[in-house]
Amino acid sequence: MATIVGAIATSHTPTIGFAADRKLQNDPVWAPIFQAYEPIKAWLAERRPDVLFVIYNDHITSFFFDHYSAFTLGVDERYEPADEGGEPRALKPLVGRADLARHVGVSLMSEEFDMSFFRDKPLDHGCFSPLSMLADPEQPWPWSIVPLQVGVLQFPIPTAHRCFSLGKAIRRAIESFPEDIKVAIVATGGLSHQVHGERAGFNNPEWDQTFLDLFETDPDRLAAMTHAQYARLGGFEGSEVIMWLIMRGALAPKVKRLHRTYYLPSMTAIATAIYEDDLAEPETAPIFVDKQTEGLADLEGTYPFTLDRANKAYALNRFLRSLVDPKVRARFAAEPEAAMVDAGLSEHERRMVAARDWRALIQYGAIFFVLEKLAAVSGVPNIAVYAAMRGQSVEDFQKTRSAAMTYGVGR
């Protein structure tokens, strides 16, 4: 079973990445930032986690208000550094531990945390800034990651209490993952800062110290605070520290603090810390059974569209979904094979699409609602797709309905 070896807390200011890229460790202004990460590097070298579960927020780089969600789990296998306006940082992409992410996602949903899931998105400084301090950029990353993006920028945002509860569920989710791997939780963000309005430049070192104390000893008090209280005490953007409570929830009620630093060189108070569970006795790992889907596999002719299927057939579904774009439709009509090759479809996938083999496509992992689009593009009515999936002629299938109706989602 997977084990949580401990947790790291770290600010995620762009300045941290800036310092790492320019190797400013010998500059007295920047040196304390590097020094803050040395004990964390040593702890990681000793504990050797396989996976970092990184809690961060995107800064309107990869996530926008066209679809903004509270808790978004990355289920991808690879994460590029994002371009935030001045070219992406020259860092290797992070490897995503997608099987663990999917397991955590299923477990959290079964506990009624309504997660969303992302892939195909680069990660911004919220994730890469601190991680780039913890590994040699010349070497492959020493761990894979599961990123959890928290939507803290468009109100309403999750309550501190909800973050804390989510962390407790994440602990159960990770510990029920059947593989023997070691996971460290990384919480990013904060501490006190405000970057907008006439109050820009607000900090509160005294509150930051109180926050760090309560974080260890009385997280329930922090979980009971409102967003307005966080904003008043720690600056409006400083409220992102509620993300730390997710990490705190994933630790035991009692923790040991192994490291803690605080530095305020510019706009944001930079803090780092390491925590481990302080348990009297080791706990037994929980066992997770997905009750919601128990028995689904016995339904014949039924292919539940799960994160596993979405992952397997991602390129295929993405391409067929892109047929909602008139430009893609025109290209697909003119040169279907080239359009599909460019979209990254495998030969097997291209053959199924070219043959309009509706049953094979569904069995493979296409979701019906992209087949509907392919049917519309192909001038095939929906009923022909249903009949083909059943292995019947349209006429025979129509006999099972009260009328012989024909339609499609196209015009």
The residue among 129 and 261 lying less far from Fe ion, judged by its C-beta, is 129
Which residues make Cβ contacts (< 8 Å) with residue 53, sequence separation at least 6? Answer: 104, 145, 146, 148, 170, 174, 183, 184, 185, 186, 250
For 164-206, give the DSSP string. HHHHHHHHHHHHT-SS--EEEEEEE--SS---SSTTTT---HH
CB 191 → Fe ion: shortest distance, Å?
Answer: 11
Does an H or E element contain 41, and which?
Answer: helix 31-47
- How far is 318 from 338, CA to CA, in rounded Å? 16
CB 59 → Fe ion: shortest distance, Å?
Answer: 6
Choose the catalytic residue: 103, 161, 193, 196.
193
Phi, psi (rounded to 5 degrees) for 379:
70, 25
Choose the catalytic residue: 103, 125, 196, 348.
125
Which residue type occupies 374?
Answer: L
The residue among 240 and 349 lying less far from Fe ion, judged by its C-beta, is 240
The residue among 208 and 240 lying less far from Fe ion, judged by its C-beta, is 240
CA nearest neighbour of 21 among 119, 112, 87, 105:
87
The residue among 203 and 317 lying less far from Fe ion, judged by its C-beta, is 203
The residue among 239 and 317 lying less far from Fe ion, judged by its C-beta, is 239
The residue among 240 and 277 lying less far from Fe ion, judged by its C-beta, is 240
Using CB under 5 A as the criterion, what x/- string covers residues 152-181 for binding Fe ion?
------------------------------
Strand residues in 11-82 grouped as ranges (E): 51-56, 71-74, 78-79
Strands 270-277 and 3-10, by their bridges, are antiparallel
CB 385 → Fe ion: shortest distance, Å?
Answer: 46
Instruction: Determine the length of the chain.
Output: 411
Site residues for Fe ion, 225-284, by CB under 5 A, read 240
Chain position carrying tokens 């996976």: 51
Q: Write the secondary structure of 262-292 as one string of H (helix), E (strand) and C (coil).
A: EECCCCCCEEEEEEEECCCCCCCCCCCCCHH
CB 199 → Fe ion: shortest distance, Å?
Answer: 17
CB 123 → Fe ion: shortest distance, Å?
Answer: 12
The residue among 9 and 169 lying less far from Fe ion, judged by its C-beta, is 9
Using CB under 5 A as the criterion, what x/- string covers residues 184-223 for binding Fe ion?
----------------------------------------
CB 268 → Fe ion: shortest distance, Å?
Answer: 8
Active site residue 193: yes
The residue among 189 and 408 lying less far from Fe ion, judged by its C-beta, is 189
- How far is 143 from 131, CA to CA, in rounded Å? 10
CB 225 → Fe ion: shortest distance, Å?
Answer: 18
The arrangement of strands across the sheet holding 144-150 comes to 116-118, 71-74, 144-150, 51-56, 182-188, 3-10, 270-277, 255-263
List % helix, strand, coil for the chain (3-state, nearest 5): 45, 15, 40
Cα→Cα distances 189→127, 146, 277, 329, 362, Å: 9, 17, 21, 43, 42
Binding-site residue total for Fe ion (CB under 5 A)? 1
Question: Which residues carry out catalysis?
Answer: 125, 193
Q: Which residues bind Fe ion (CB under 5 A)?
A: 240
